[in-house]
Chains A and B, each alone.
Chain A
Amino acid sequence: MSTRSAISGTEHTGSEVPLTRYRFSVDDYYAMARAGILTEEDRVELLDGEVVEMAPIGSRHALCVDRLNRMFSRRFDDRAGVRVQNPIRLDGYSEPEPDVALLKLPLERYADAHPAPDDVLLVVEVSDTSLERDRALKLPLYAAAGIAEVWIVNPEDGEVEVCRKPSGARYSDVQRLREGTVTPLAFPDEAIGIQEILGPAESE
């Protein structure tokens, strides 16, 4: 049920000559790793059949992720699993590694298979330089897979983009929050402060 997104299938560049990229399945992706074609040196994700390199993680990005990890773990303790930069399997052609994902418990249920869309309560991506890439690439894949809620946290711009109501390859309810609180759909009793998510404002 994968959507043919703009990043794979046909690729349009400035010269407007479409390239039909070969799409690798998740099985192909793992076979590549077993064959030593992909190694630990490849920091990659599989997005709609395309093996995509992940950008190196800057210190601010890492800090934001660590803070989110701590905050979610404390708040959701026994109620959700907190997965940090590990794979979730969207369908046969996509296995992204979101910065943070809140998962249904128990964690042991993921021993033999990565979380599927139904197992994922919330995806959080921290964006700085990767902002456009995350929006353009990954958001449509999350929406098409039916992931109910995605937050894009942008500490540089001081904004949390809350995406809900997946419809086809997009989220039809998108709010950009700079203050106040956001309450995850899966936990209606947990209003989380935007400032708590973004972290202390940088003094520059």
Chain B
Amino acid sequence: METAVSQRRFTVDEFHRLGEVGILDEDDRVELLDGRIIEMAAIGSRHAACVRRLNRWLGERVSGDLLVDVQNPVHLDAETELYTDLMVLRHRDDFYSARHPRPEDVLLVVEVADTSVEYDRRRKIPRYGRAGIQEAWLVNLPDRRVETWHSPETSGGYDESATLREGETIESTTVPGLSIEVDELLP
């Protein structure tokens, strides 16, 4: 995050407080990346439909000790809280009401990208890796493929990656028995 200026960075607590006092409101689609408040692109219908497909599909397949989360935040550290399109989380009885999910709670994060491919691939996914999230998928709608990563590295990013195209099948490395055909995600 090399920058030319000393931006005043915000913590997650301050980020929440900005929401509480109404400086940021529900219409502001924002997330916090290394202390910087970033505007997220509006969600187009293609993106939304893909998320719905994945939501139903994952919900039907994950076991009872796991949860599927849609468009909710993951708290990575004191200065980073990102919104993910979908996550497969370890089940908690309180459904994470006490605190947002942390990296160790997340088995799989899925980002769907229509207009935000570069941002998701080069900013968010490596950040998930640095935080230790085990597995990440990027559903790349414009290029009609799914990019996957696993084996997170603390220096950022992942050790292993693969790209699956139409006609191929994605196999999760963290969620037991989870596999999906790319064609099901990209009709």
Contact = CB atoms under 8 A, between A and B. Distances in A.
Contact of B28 (A22, A37, A47, A55): A22
B123 A22 contact: no
Contacts of A19: 33, 36, 38, 119, 123
B2 A14 contact: yes
Nearest to A53: B6
B39 interface: yes
B123 A53 contact: no
B4 A28 contact: no
Size class of B's contact patch? 20 to 34
Main secondary structure of the interface of A (DSSP, over half): mixed
A190 interface: no
Given A19-B36, A19-B119, A19-B123, A32 B6 contact: no
Interface residues of A, number: 30
A194 interface: no
A16 to B, nearest CB: 8
Given A21-B37, A22-B39, A51 B23 contact: no
Contacts of B24: 22
Contact of A35 (B17, B33, B38, B123): B17
B8 A52 contact: yes
Given A32-B23, A52-B5, A22 B119 contact: no
Interface in A162-187: none
B6 A52 contact: yes
B184 interface: no
B1 A133 contact: no
A26 B95 CA distance: 38
User: Can you list the 9 inter-chain pairs with the closest CB atoms, starting with the nearest?
Assistant: A53-B6, A22-B37, A51-B8, A20-B39, A35-B21, A17-B122, A28-B23, A53-B8, A17-B118
Interface of B: 1-8, 10, 14, 17-18, 21-24, 28, 30, 33, 36-39, 41, 118-119, 122-123
Interface of A: 7, 11, 13-15, 17-22, 24, 28, 31-32, 35, 37-38, 42, 44, 47, 50-53, 55, 132-133, 136-137
Given A17-B118, A55-B6, 7 more contacts: A19-B123, A20-B38, A21-B37, A28-B23, A31-B22, A51-B7, A132-B4
